[in-house]
Chain A
Amino acid sequence: MHEVAIMEETVAIACQAAQRQNAHKILSLTMRIGDLSGVVPEALEFAFAAVTQGTPAKQATLKIERVPIVCHCDPCDRPFSPADLYCECPQCGHFSQHIISGKEVELKSLEVI
């Protein structure tokens, strides 16, 4: 379960950013998680409760925004939203290897006080 390692890094980045702003408490963290990231949001929630203990984020809430998969079809030279994980272009049937978005694991923003 790499969600614990991911959450540890997320909380570390968040605490550093909050400290730079002289904030003493983090009220919420917003993350963007791509549908092709291999990260399970439920496991992130679970890890979050554990790794925020003893940090300025200990009472914070975690908000997760899912990022759908968008690929680029080279033959058609256009982006598309695939119907399944094979990333097949609905127009020409080409299997795309160019993922424009959907692999994100990001800390988007914080609410601090």
Chain B
Amino acid sequence: MCGNCGCSVTEKEVEIHTHTHDHNVHTHAHIYDHEHHHHDHNGHPHSHSIEIKQSIFAKNDQLAERNRGYFLAKDLFVINVVSSPGSGKTALLEKTIDQLQTQLNLAIIVGDLETDNDAQRLRKNGISVAQITTGTLCHLDAAMVLQAARKLPLDAVNLLIIENVGNLVCPAAYDLGEHKRIVLLSTTEGEDKPLKYPTMFKSADVVIINKIDIAEVVDFNRALALENIKKMCPQAEIFELSARTGAGMKAWLNYLQNQHQTTIAQAVEN
């Protein structure tokens, strides 16, 4: 409510659309339209400016918050896995399913521009998979995720994994309603990856370095890579593993189990 006159304009609404008018009583921002009569001056209409000040992601962010609440209401822990194409997302998820499905009930949402090849790979062992084929779109958004999630038997699921479209740029801007964002890079991609994709790495809760089994062959500078990650996203937990050989998988699986418990426990407390 407006502190000056008691009208029902909330602060949030004002942010959506502010339009300042000088009233006789006082001056403040309104979201509501005012009567504008468009008078012509000798047949020449005049232009005026409208203040908008609205984030282009406002709608997506609101839907993402709604998703997060919906997922928590179902005691569901949700991760969003992002990486460039070919860094091993699907292989990591296959291994994660293999080793975790006796402890947690998993379901997966897979986003791809074309084909459901990854979904088919992940569908084995009875895991529920919802495929989103984005066509030309290079990222998933919160609305797509909700639509896909509703096709899954979520009441019987503890961990929902979203495998995003292979792309380190566009998905960075789209909150899907996940609880943790996992950014994957592989040893074949170069140590300066975090510096090349700052927006994505700065939003990471976890960074996984995959394909450590071939690090030596591709001259991967581990120390430099770790230094770059720690500088770019000091908040992120780092795991080094090989989805192919299984090396380092245990710490990652422990993390998922712990985070699942913590997230659900916090939701119950709040």
Contacts and interface: CB of A to CB of B under 8 A. Distances in A.
Interface of A: 1-2, 5-6, 9-10, 13-14, 17-18, 20-23, 27, 36-39, 85-86, 88, 95-97, 99, 103-113
A112 B170 contact: no
Contacts of A112: 47-50
B26 interface: no
B70 interface: no
Contact of B52 (A6, A37, A110): A110
B56 A6 contact: yes
B238 to A, nearest CB: 14
B199 to A, nearest CB: 4
B173 A1 contact: no
B46 interface: yes
A2 B169 contact: yes
Report the 5 A-B pairs with minimum CB-CB distance, sorted nearest first.
A38-B199, A2-B170, A85-B198, A113-B47, A86-B231
7 contacts: A38-B169, A86-B195, A97-B233, A106-B53, A107-B56, A108-B52, A111-B48
Contacts of A2: 137-139, 169-170, 173-174
A38 B53 contact: no
Contact of A1 (B55, B138, B232): B138
Nearest to B35: A22
**Interface residue range, chain B:** 35 or more
A80 B240 CA distance: 32
B51 A109 contact: yes
B3 interface: no
Given A5-B137, A6-B56, 4 more contacts: A2-B139, A21-B50, A97-B234, A112-B48
B202 A97 contact: yes
Contacts of A39: 173
A111 B169 contact: no
B230 A106 contact: no
B56 A17 contact: no
B56 A21 contact: no
Nearest to B172: A38
Contact of A111 (B45, B49, B59, B170): B49
Given A2-B169, A20-B33, A105-B56, A38 B200 contact: yes
B45 A113 contact: yes
Contact of B53 (A9, A14, A95, A108): A108
Given A36-B202, A85-B195, A113-B47, A97 B235 contact: yes
Contacts of B232: 85-86, 95
B54 interface: yes
A88 B59 CA distance: 32
A95 B231 contact: yes
Nearest to A107: B52
A17 B52 contact: yes
